[in-house]
Amino acid sequence: MTIGNILKFAWRYFRAKKSTNAINIISWVSVVAITFGTASLITIFSAFNGFESLVKSLYASFYPDIRVTPAKGKMLHISRDQLDALQKLKGIDSYSLVVEEKALLQNGALQSVVTIKGVDENFSNVSGIDSAIYHGNYQLGNEEKPGLVLGIGIEQALGLQADRSVYPLMIYLPRKGISLAADPTAALSSATIYPQGSFAIQSEFDNQYAITDLNFLKTYMSYADDEYSAIEIKLSEKSNGAELQDQLQSMLGAGFLVENRYEQNRTLYTTIRLEKWAIYAIFTLILVVAAFNMIGALSMLVLEKQKDIQVLKAMGAADLLIQRIFLAEGILLGTLGAIAGMVLSLLVYFLQTRFKLVPLQGATFLIDHYPLKLMVSDFIIVATTVWIIAIAAAWFPAKKASQRTMDLRN
């Protein structure tokens, strides 16, 4: 018997009026349970996808496509020839030389310890920092008259508004190679710096980072011409990131650490993925519980269709065919629930994106509603999970049906 005929049997058994109404009720209860389990799982997946995309977009404003740092220590030494060779690599759109260090900013009696980041003129091409300006402008000045762009958290801690600040800030920087314990006065250099703007990305950056001119920072920290903290690289749109990463690592050698955006934030992205799969495991258990209704419905259906089984066997139907018919019945129940759940999840997605039914509480979020993002892979994973559970749930009743056939024959 073909698969089509087996499915016709299963569909007829599903639609047919049963002598015991409880069979119909339990069958529909199992379908409804699978429907809501499927819809919930896809909706939760899409919420995680939405938040992951949001976080990635926020981090993309500050973290580069590829970052080169020293494998050991805080400073890397790179020659002009190496930089020229890096620029010639196909797929690299731009790069920026960076120096990072802890510093103390002081505005009168108010102080804040920050991570000061000295960047060159290419930094705005490598990052999206200039598009995240909240107050003022993205102006870093030069070595003689440096400007400062700081996170809004630091701006608030110092009690100022960057675009309206009349007086400069005092900045205290550590000098390279001088121990603070040995000579506190010589270990620190100080300068005045004018705030020009502030940026708002997210609290991790807003409360920690301030950006200024690279040459100013190198001079006051006594860095040599070829010394930097990192090289930040932006890739062209059509470039192969993994291949370029390998090329850079081979070209620069073992003394350099070449990381993509995922590797720069490995802990964050790993946590997001683990949370997503933990939710998947929880909702899969809910679907398994829903499958117990299916086992009950199919077991009762086997008892209901004893005469049909006997007739099919008398006509020459093998035990395997009987088993397949009832397996198909379980798959049919799971498929109906899965399709209905997918349609319901699409409806939830439309309503949430269109009308923002579920808001995010609090005024500190960049968006005012839960973001959703549908992915085809999530539908495939959920559908596969439902079918596996349906087959497993239908296996025992189907096996009992084939054994019952043999009992009737004997």
Looking at the predicted structure, is the pLDDT value of residue 42 above 80? yes
Cβ neighbours of 108 (radius 10 Å): 11
Looking at the predicted structure, is the pLDDT value of residue 182 above 70? no
Rounded average pLDDT over 48-52: 92
Looking at the predicted structure, is the pLDDT value of residue 280 above 90? yes
pLDDT score at 7: 76
Q: Which two tokens stand for residue 354?
A: 């269109």
> In which band, very low, low, confident or very high, does the pLDDT at 14 lie, cut at 50, 70 and 90?
confident
Whole-number average pLDDT of the chain: 90
DSSP E strand stretches across 219-278: 227-228, 230-235, 256-260
Q: In the chain, what percentage of residues exceed pLDDT 90?
A: 65
What pTM did the predictor assign? Answer: 0.82
pLDDT score at 216: 97
pLDDT score at 72: 93
Task: List the single range of 203-207, 267-271, 334-338, 386-390 with lowest mean pLDDT.
Answer: 267-271
pLDDT tens digits, one per residue of 104-163? 999 999 999 999 999 999 999 999 898 899 999 999 999 999 999 999 999 999 999 999
Closest of 230, 229, 207, 214 to residue 158, by C-alpha: 207
Q: Decide: 194 and 169 in contact? Cβ < 8 Å.
A: yes
Domain ranges of the chain: 3-59+268-409, 66-264
Closest of 297, 300, 301, 305 to residue 334, by C-alpha: 297
Looking at the predicted structure, is the pLDDT value of residue 410 above 60? no
pLDDT score at 404: 61
Distances (CA, A) of 278 to 128, 194, 262, 271, 281: 33, 48, 20, 10, 5
pLDDT score at 408: 43
Cβ neighbours of 363 (radius 10 Å): 6
pLDDT score at 178: 79
